[in-house]
Amino acid sequence: MKTVRIDAKGMHYTPLNQKIRAAVADGAEEIILDNVLGQRFIGDGLRGNVRIIINGVPGGDLGMFMSGPTCIVHGNAEHAPGNTMDSGMLVINGSAGDAVAHSMRGGKVFVKNNIGYRGGIHMKQYEAEARPVLVVGGTAHSFLGEYMAGGLVLVLGIDKERAMTDRGIGSGIHGGEIVIRGEVDDYLLGVGAKKFEFTESDLKRISPIIKSFCEHFGLDPAKYMDTNYTRIAPASSRPFANKYVWE
């Protein structure tokens, strides 16, 4: 495997991304970025199948508009990793900020610990090949999956008494599903979101994702292979149809 190592110490994001693009164009299969400290837009608009190992803490919009690559972060991530991402994967060995996976249309974002506000907001899907997945090992703040139009958000709440304790889950959701470990109190749900029973067939459907998540972070998937989840989905695919009347 062709590996390229880049020392990002003190480097601005534009030359850093230029080096990454040049390495990809040169046929690199793996790029290791050392000493990353707050550089925004890493992998922004990047195509291909390259694997990028990020040692440090990347800045906002990691993997924005990204189409194909995998980024593995050994550290936390900032605001909106996976923003409007098309395909590929982000694996964050830590926590991430607000608006994680904002408007993501495909690919996967795995966050080992917690995420901030508005996680998975306005995620959307188109047919089977573009179905985004956000998995959070810990918990998420308010407005998780707000305006969601497709895809899957899974919150495992590992080592938490309750996976979710913040409000506004799925407000305005009109597509996709939010699956949360354990019980979710009714008052945490946003307008337009509805709780459904999590069945064996749901488990069968999402178990490959649970397995993959656990594999990435060295966890035992067996602990999560039951139906002790709450499934939250849209009450309607047209949440505003009854709010308006024509002139």
Partner 1 sequence: MTLGSVPPKFKVGIDCDQCMDCGRCIENCSYGVYRREGEKILIESRKCTACLRCVAMCPRDAITITEKPVDYRYHPVWTREIREDIINQARSGKIILSGMGNARDLPIIYDQLLLDACQVTNPSIDPLREPMELRTYLGKKPKKLQFRKTESGDVELETKLAPNLKLDTPIMIGHMSFGAISLNSHLSMARAVKETGTYMGTGEGGLNKALYPYQDRLIVQVASGRFGVNIDYLERGAAIEIKIGQGAKPGIGGHLPGEKVDEAVSRTRMIPLGSDAISPAPHHDIYSIEDLVQLIRSLKEATEWKKPVFVKIAAVHNVAPIAAGIARSSADAVVIDGFRGGTGAAPKVFRDHVGIPIEVAIASVDQKLRDQGVRNEISIIASGGIRSSADLAKSIALGADAVYIGTAALVSLGCRVCGNCYRNLCPWGIATQQPELVNRVDPERGAIQVANLIKSWTLELSELMGAAGINSIESLRGNRDRLRGYMLDEGTLKVLDVLPAGA
What does the per-residue mask of binding to partner 1 show for 103-122, with x meaning CB under 8 A? x-x------------x--xx
Cα 136 to the center of its chain, rounded Å: 7
Q: Are 221 and 214 in contact (CB under 8 A)?
A: yes
Interface size with partner 1, residues (CB under 8 A): 49
- Stretch 206-225 residues interacting with partner 1 (CB under 8 A): none
Shortest distance (Å) from residue 219 CB to partner 1: 30
Nearest to 167 by CA among 147, 148, 140, 194: 140
Q: How far apart are CA 142 and CA 167, in angstroms?
A: 5
Q: Does 179 bind partner 1 (CB under 8 A)?
A: no
Considering only 19, 74, 79, 211, the residue that binds partner 1 (CB under 8 A) is 79
Shortest distance (Å) from residue 154 CB to partner 1: 20
Shortest distance (Å) from residue 211 CB to partner 1: 27
Shortest distance (Å) from residue 28 CB to partner 1: 18
Shortest distance (Å) from residue 98 CB to partner 1: 8
Q: Are 122 and 147 in contact (CB under 8 A)?
A: yes
Any residues with CB less than 8 A from the CB of 69 and at least 6 apart, and which? Answer: 24, 43, 46, 47, 48, 49, 50, 51, 52, 63, 88, 89
Write out the two tokens for 65: 């508009």
SS (H, E, C) 151-202: EEEEECCCCCCCCCCCCCECCCCCEEEEEEECCCCHHHECCCEEEEECCHHH
Considering only 102, 108, 195, 216, the residue that binds partner 1 (CB under 8 A) is 102
DSSP character string of 40-77: --TTTT-BSS-EEEEEEE--SSTTTT-EEEEEEEES--
Shortest distance (Å) from residue 182 CB to partner 1: 27
- Stretch 12-71 residues interacting with partner 1 (CB under 8 A): 13-14, 17, 21, 40-41, 44-45, 47, 60-61, 64-67
Q: Does 199 bind partner 1 (CB under 8 A)?
A: no
Considering only 80, 153, 180, 188, the residue that binds partner 1 (CB under 8 A) is 80
Q: Does 82 bind partner 1 (CB under 8 A)?
A: no
User: Is the C-alpha dihedral spanning 174, 87, 144, 155 positive or negative?
Assistant: positive
Shortest distance (Å) from residue 136 CB to partner 1: 17
| Binding footprint of partner 1 on the chain (CB under 8 A) | 13-14, 17, 21, 40-41, 44-45, 47, 60-61, 64-67, 79-80, 83-84, 86, 99, 102-103, 105, 118, 121-122, 124-126, 130, 146-147, 149-150, 172, 174-175, 237-247
